[in-house]
Amino acid sequence: MRWKVRLLVAGLCAMGLLSAPAAAEAGKKADEPSKAYCARYKCIALTFDDGPWPYTPELLDTLNKHKAKATFFLLGRKVASRPELTQRIVQEGHEVGNHTWDHPDLTKLSDDEVMQEMSSTSDVIEQTIGERPAMMRPPNGATDARVTRLMTELALPQILWTGSTLDWQARDTKVITARTLKLAKRNGVILLHDIVPQTVKAMPTVLSTLEKEGYHFVTVTTLLQGRELEAGEIYPPRPKKK
C-alpha cells in the first residue's frame, strides 16, 4: 500500500497537479478514489535504460521542449559518477527506477548478490536525489520466481515493456524512429536507451509525430495511476505459456 501511495502522489506532483502540502495531504488520503490521468488522456510511457550518460542532457533538452515526461532506469555505478545529471533528471519532472548497479543477469546471481546489486543502487539514488526508487527494471528483462520473491521483499515492482525498439542493436536513427512509432499504443511502455546516441537523435521526430496523434508522454507512475500493482509484480504481465 505504501508503494501505491507514492505511485499516485509522485505522478500528480510530476504533472504539477499537487503542491508539496497537497501531496502530503494526498498521502494521508491514499485510500480515497482518484480519477487516473491516463483514463482521460491517450498516454504513453517512454522509458530509457542504462544511464545517466553523456547523451542524456540532449535527451532532457528534447523532452523539455516537448513538455514530455519519461522514466529513466538507472545503473547505480553511473549515478555515482554523474550525480548532478541524475538530479537534473528528477528536477525536470522525470522519474527514476533501479536498474541494478552494473547490469548483471539477476537470474544468475545468488540471493545475496541480487540484494547487493539492488540495495547499493537504491542507496546511491537516495543519497543523490533524497528518496529511494519505487520501482525497478531487471536488466534484459531477466527475472524468474526467485528474483520476483526478492523484489517483493524489497517492495519493488518489476517494470518491463510493451515494446522494445532494440535500439542498442540497430544504432540507426531512422530505424529507431520507425520502430518506436510502430510500437506506440495507448498505455504502452516503450523500451529505449539513452546510452545510444541515435536514439537521442530520433526523439525529436518521435515526439513530434506522436504529439500529432494525440499522445501525452508520461512517467510510468502516471501511467499506472489507479492500477493495483503490488511489490514484486511484473508489469506489463508476460503472456502465459501454453
Cβ-based burial of 2 (10 A; exposed 0-12, middle 13-18, buried ≥19):
exposed
Q: Closest by alpha carbon to 203, among 96, 45, 60, 42?
A: 60
- The tens place of each residue's pLDDT in the chain, 242 residues long, gives 445 545 544 554 555 544 444 444 434 333 333 468 999 999 999 999 999 999 999 999 999 999 999 999 999 999 999 999 999 999 999 999 999 999 999 999 999 999 999 999 999 999 999 999 999 999 999 999 999 999 999 999 999 999 999 999 999 999 999 999 999 999 999 999 999 999 999 999 999 999 999 999 999 999 999 887 799 999 998 876 54
Domain locations in the chain as residue ranges: 37-235
| Beta pairing partners, 234 | 158
Q: Is 95 left (phi over 0), alpha (psi -120 to 50) or beta?
A: beta
| Beta pairing partners, 192 | 48
DSSP of 35-53: --HHHHS-EEEEEEEEE--
| Spatial distance between the Cα atoms of 111 and 103, rounded to a whole number of angstroms | 16
Q: Which fold has domain 37-235?
A: TIM Barrel (3.20.20)
pTM to 2 decimal places: 0.85
Say if CB 230 and CB 5 are below 8 A apart. no
DSSP of 147-168: HHHHHHHTT--EE--SEE--HH
Say if CB 163 and CB 138 are below 8 A apart. no
Question: Which of the residues are catalytic?
Answer: 49, 193
| Beta pairing partners, 97 | 73
C-alpha cell at 65: 521542449
For residue 72, the SS3 value is strand
**Which amino acid, one-letter code, is at 37?**
Y
Cβ-based burial of 188 (10 A; exposed 0-12, middle 13-18, buried ≥19):
middle
**Which amino acid, one-letter code, is at 6?**
R
C-alpha cell at 238: 508476460
| Beta pairing partners, 163 | 190
